[in-house]
Structure 1
Amino acid sequence: MSSTAPPSPSLPTLRGRLTAEAAGTFLLVFAVVGTATFTAAFPGDDAGNPLGVGLLGVAIALGAAVMIGAYAFGPISGGHFNPAVSLGLAAAGRFAGRDVVPYVVAQLVGAAAGAATVFLVSRGGSPESHAGAVEGGFVSNGFGDLSPSGFGLGSALAVEVVATAIFVTVILGVTHARAAQGFAPLAIGATLTVLLLVTIPVDNASLNPARSLATALFAGGDWIAQVWVFLLAPTLGGIAAGLVHRMLFETDPIASSPARAPAGARG
């Protein structure tokens, strides 16, 4: 009696991967913008907002959304959900350069759809609440007068480059061939939560050009005039992390081979 190995699953099509990227980015933006708009400060509560989730709740919401999206859509598309991540992975040699532009387009579409959904839901509330959300920037990123704590351009540039570089470095590390299997989304989500706790007071936390552009489109005015910072800085941080990781960790084919990893690291 002969035995045959089970057929290997077919690779997802580009259309499927792009759909997964758009869906994951939609989830990310819908979660963070929705939480910040509707739940960070509970309406009608003027006594310290005990019912609002505040800064910590927004950070946890985004970290959890990225973790969930990575588990749900990562097996299909890799779970980037962020142009800076796609560019960083390509710079590290982990992602095909020809797929970067389609992925970024899908991420922009998903982010815009997520922000638009929250915007439409917001319009169904009181006119005062909706107007206040838009006038407050609709969770957009900003510096100077638009910074939550008055931080300037230099601080915004620095924190976005550094935080995004850390984020992409963690992604590259936990998805390495020698990393423990199955835990990458947990580490990525937790890292993003921690980084948001640092960056939200500075510039409302971008680390993702798609998320920044999506909300700025609805906020308009000065917010859209400053969005270039949050397109440029995360992109630079992601690419820098990819290049450094490739130089330091991807140049030795023996060291990076799964066969050379300790047994516990192979999962």
Structure 2
Amino acid sequence: MQVKQFQPDSAQLRSLEDKPQPLAAEFLGTLLLVFFAVGAAVLAGEYIGTLGIALAFGFTLLALAYSIGPISGAHVNPAVTLGMLLARRIDLEMAVKYWIAQIVGGIAGAALLFLVAKQVPGLQTSETFGSNGFGDRSALHINAAGAFIAELVLTFLLVYVVLAVTHKVAVVGFDGLPIGIALATIHLIGIPVTGTSVNPARSIGPAIFAGGAALTQLWMFIVAPLVGGALAAVVHSITHPQPNTQPAKEPDVG
């Protein structure tokens, strides 16, 4: 039996912009990504290791791609939304609404995770709490320049894959599979480097509750992913045709 996937056309996407569902989906999706994936690092990192944390991020995003992808696109990441904006798949007004929903969702997810973590005797949350960092806050003690380049390149891969496997805003069919695999792979590389952000909303929430150096270094994990996302959109426009933004060429009947 073939399951029909919902893929909204341009008119349907425009109609969704006036409804609360996409924003609610982005809020909820980012909340769940932070709670479960960052939670894997905070609550279970000692037991599951780097591989387990990476898989938690990848599997959570994969699940979200299938559950809210047809509603909002399952961006759950301001860098992905920026890529979509530069690829002209959403307009600026909708992008700003997505960014707000994602950041608020990330903070809410971190708040719920913080509430759970505080019930665990002896669990350290101050200046750690799944936040990102460089220098002495990096397992490899990478410097700021190296952290910036790493976050830029890692985010580039994520946003490039999202743009390459999707044709509109929505995630449908098997689109979610390469996106989830990409995020898991990114974390396998990035966790010892910076803890892996590639997502400003994912970084902002935990940093607020970690405090200290997590907040003073937060700028890196906002700026670098956004630059990586923008670069991915530019490169994607060169390597891939853009049927969603360019009119179809009239057939030559002469």
- Residue 220 to residue 17, structure 1, CA distance change in 2 (3 Å): same
- Residue 19 to residue 151, structure 1, CA distance change in 2 (3 Å): same
Aligned to 1:19: 24
Alignment: residue pair count? 235
Verify the 8 A CA contact 1:59 1:193 in the aligned structure 2: yes
Aligned to 1:28: 33
Hey, what's the Cα distance between the residues in 1 that align with 2:68 and 2:28?
A: 8
Hey, what's the Cα distance between the residues in 2 that align with 1:134 and 1:58?
A: 20
Hey, what's the Cα distance between the residues in 2 that align with 1:124 and 1:225?
A: 27
Hey, what's the Cα distance between the residues in 2 that align with 1:23 and 1:86?
A: 16
- Residue 181 to residue 208, structure 1, CA distance change in 2 (3 Å): closer
- Residue 253 to residue 233, structure 1, CA distance change in 2 (3 Å): closer
Task: Quote the offset at 1:23 in angstroms.
Answer: 0.7
The yes-or-no answer on 1:200 pairing with 2:213 is: no
Structure 2: segments with no counterpart, 5+ residues:
1-7
Q: Of the two, which has the highest radius of gyration? A: 1
Superposition map of 1:62-211 within 5 A: 62-126=57-121, 128-129=122-123, 132-135=124-127, 137-176=128-167, 182-211=173-202
Aligned to 1:227: 218
Q: Secondary structure at the match of 2:204?
A: helix
Which protein has greater RCO, CA pairs closer than 8 Å, 6+ apart? 2
Aligned to 1:49: none
Task: Quote the offset at 1:155 in angstroms.
Answer: 1.2
Task: Quote the offset at 1:249 in angstroms.
Answer: 2.2
- Residue 202 to residue 93, structure 1, CA distance change in 2 (3 Å): same
- Root-mean-square deviation (CA, aligned residues, Å) is 2.3
Question: Structure 1, residues 86-130: CA drift from partner, whole Å, max 9, x if none?
Answer: 00111112222221111000001111111111100111121x22x
The yes-or-no answer on 1:60 pairing with 2:55 is: yes
Task: Quote the offset at 1:181 in angstroms.
Answer: 5.8
Hey, what's the Cα distance between the residues in 2 that align with 1:187 and 1:243?
A: 20
Verify the 8 A CA contact 1:91 1:246 in the aligned structure 2: no
Verify the 8 A CA contact 2:89 2:244 in the aligned structure 1: no
Residue identity opposite 1:208 in structure 2: N
Task: Quote the offset at 1:244 in angstroms.
Answer: 2.0
Task: Quote the offset at 1:251 in angstroms.
Answer: 5.3
Verify the 8 A CA contact 2:69 2:172 in the aligned structure 1: no
Aligned to 2:4: none
Residue identity opposite 2:162 in structure 1: I
Hey, what's the Cα distance between the residues in 2 that align with 1:103 and 1:69?
A: 15
TM-score by length of structure 2 reads 0.86
Hey, what's the Cα distance between the residues in 1 that align with 2:24 and 2:241?
A: 30
Hey, what's the Cα distance between the residues in 2 that align with 1:205 and 1:256?
A: 38
Hey, what's the Cα distance between the residues in 2 that align with 1:65 and 1:171?
A: 15
**Identity in percent:** 41
Hey, what's the Cα distance between the residues in 1 that align with 2:244 and 2:167?
A: 13
Verify the 8 A CA contact 1:159 1:199 in the aligned structure 2: yes
TM-score by length of structure 1 reads 0.82
